Structure formats: C-alpha cells, structure tokens
Amino acid sequence: MWNAIFYLVKTGCQWRMLPSHYPKWQLVYYYYRKWAELEEFDLLLGKLRENVRFQRGQNKEASVGIMDSQSVRWGNNQSLNGVDGK
C-alpha cells in the first residue's frame, strides 16, 4: 500500500492510472484518505523523511527551500498593463 502511495506522490499520476501491479486504485485511495485524516500521518511522514535523509548522509532537516513561479500571459484582456497584471 505504501509503495502505491509513494508511486502516486512521486509520479503525480492519476489514481485511476495506477499500474496493475499495485492494489486497485480504490483500495489505495481508501487507505490514503483514512490515514491522511489522522494527525499522526504527518508525523509519520516527517519521521520517514528524516530516516531517508539520514540514510543518504544528509541532515534530518532541509537547510534550503526553493520556490519557483512565473507569470503567464493569457486571454486577450487589454485592460492588463503588464504580464503580471500591474
């Protein structure tokens, strides 16, 4: 079950596109929703992340965060002056 959830998170695929060697998507979705409602779920994922980072020889906590964004032109709206609406 965990491997199916990790696959979904890593690849970003749709639930219904889950490969056949995993359990049926409905069952995976059921357990994901059930576990996600628990407050301990976030704690469990945090501990898992720390263990993976430790095994890779990294600090348990990330030292840098990166955020990416961009402005995109859309539509034919003449009232907008700039690409970001300013």
CA atoms within 13 A on the CB side of 29: 9
Mean pLDDT value of segment 16-38: 93
pLDDT at 80: 56
pLDDT at 14: 93
Residues near 5 by beta carbon (within 8 Å), at least 6 away in sequence: 28, 31, 32
Full-model pTM: 0.54
pLDDT at 74: 64
Q: What tokens appear for 81 in the block?
A: 């002056």
